[in-house]
A and B are shown apart, each in its own frame.
Chain A
């Protein structure tokens, strides 16, 4: 076996390479690449930035929409739920669609043959989701502050933690859907599920405010748990442990299922 270090043996090709870039550089490159792809895509921007922004402004300004805020101001009550929607739109809807089309177009297979590998590809996708969420947070927090939002300061680190847990659960769901269904099917499911969860998943309206029987179910959904965790952190400065347990449970189950059934081609 000849060495592949440049110029060490006569038999080595004259174009012998020095191998792969460092793992950190590869993942950083993929993260930047994924982030650019999402932020440049019009439909993705619509779902990840404009939809949550629209919900924030509409729920705060349109008083015809009745909200039981439990004594809090409308913007204080609405903003945590909208941040939860933002996490869902990026970690689930946007990522499921992007990954499904990458899978259909052979991008996952091609990138798996480069030094990036499958692990690096998944790491880049997850970090790309987090990068887009940072952009979302900047836009939505700025808008909410302009609308008079006063978050519970002590709860901000808890809200970040809740956001990470929600991202883990919903990215797992995205991978499960993207790795098992046809791309067109994922496009429909990812958008439809987002709308259903926003309407009835306990994310904007707390599960406890929903119809009695359904409320218990919604609290056990990742959307309801994420909404409750965000509201707990930013309204009261504490996260209900039940919501954390639900998010962790969904991450384990969905992550296992995605590993089990995800098909690369």
Chain B
């Protein structure tokens, strides 16, 4: 598997994340006018980054000599959703746990709301909300009781009743955590993470195991938090979640960032696995399986999955017309036809490879 050149390690000279197309990636929005757009590469946090909610530079972490995170850079803006994507074992959770102060990095700097997650832990705890991948909820406690307990740890928590209603917790408020479904636990864990009015929220796979209604409720709430100025950092395997929610996407593989940018940049830039630009206007369509590859003369038609076809090469209006005409001739109805736009999943698979890990 090839990857775009990995960012330098902790002591490296260029910890700036590898951008797919740096010219199209806007600098993190800072309220200071005249902030220099190009931060000089340095393992220290530069002044222009101080107002970002989270700045990670050159993070490294090994377990028993095995490098899990190797020179990772990550920036999360206030008032934005930053999605950290990566295959299993890519180092996402370890990175997030270093930011939460739950693990001590071997090397690199982490600044959370401008503070150090270890030395300033007491000051940060009330300002940072955390939703762990394994929930972290005691099994013997009732759902509402847990939420109320955590709310009591803050001077000015959110209204528990309002949160209960927003996330649909009322139907299982008196059920013990042990008897909640996966999706119900996730919703409770999310409520616990944000009940203290955090400025920065870490969500580790927030909608895993949720039904579509719950997912929608969670997405709406995350969007609302973002609009209120909260910085949200989430890890996810769900590409549609990242695509719908995230303002910025960071793709992590083998402990380092291999691509980052806005969601829009990633799906439109079309980087191939070797970093070259893939054909801009790939055409995909779904129809009956088993169409011949030479359906339209001069078009390379590939059936990527039964009934799903990809046309590589230059695609223009005439190509689409020729294709639909050829299909009509065979009395085949096209279910879905897209031109040019790749999904985040395509980008992700191109970047991280298609082999199972």
Contact = CB atoms under 8 A, between A and B. Distances in A.
Given A21-B154, A113-B100, A264-B102, A105 B228 contact: no
B97 to A, nearest CB: 8
Nearest to B231: A13
B138 A37 contact: yes
Interface stretch (A25-33, A164-172, A242-250): A25-33
A106 interface: yes
Interface in A84-138: 101-102, 105-107, 109-117
Interface residues of A, number: 40
Contacts of B156: 6, 17-19
B53 to A, nearest CB: 10
Contacts of A107: 136-138
B199 A14 contact: no
A41 interface: yes
A1 interface: yes
B136 A105 contact: yes
Interface residues of B, number: 44
A15 B154 contact: no
Nearest to B202: A113
Contacts of B125: 20, 113-117
Given A21-B155, A117-B121, A106 B135 contact: yes
Contacts of A19: 126-127, 154-156
A113 B51 contact: no
Contacts of B139: 101, 105
Interface in A30-45: 30, 33, 37, 40-41
Contacts of B113: 1, 4
B153 interface: yes
Contacts of A41: 140
A265 B140 contact: no
B149 A29 contact: yes
A2 interface: yes
A116 B136 contact: no
B267 interface: no
B229 interface: yes
Most central of A41, A105, A113, A115 by chain B CB within 10 Å: A113
A12 interface: yes
Contacts of B130: 110, 113-114
Interface in B98-150: 100-102, 113-114, 121-122, 125-128, 130, 132, 134-141, 149-150
Most central of B101, B102, B130 by chain A CB within 10 Å: B102
A59 to B, nearest CB: 32
Interface of B: 31, 50-51, 78-79, 100-102, 113-114, 121-122, 125-128, 130, 132, 134-141, 149-150, 152-158, 192, 196-199, 225, 228-230
Given A4-B199, A101-B139, A115-B154, 10 more contacts: A6-B156, A20-B155, A25-B152, A30-B149, A33-B149, A40-B140, A113-B101, A113-B130, A114-B150, A116-B125
16 contacts: A4-B113, A6-B156, A11-B78, A13-B78, A15-B197, A16-B197, A19-B154, A19-B156, A21-B152, A21-B154, A22-B155, A29-B152, A29-B153, A106-B136, A107-B136, A116-B153
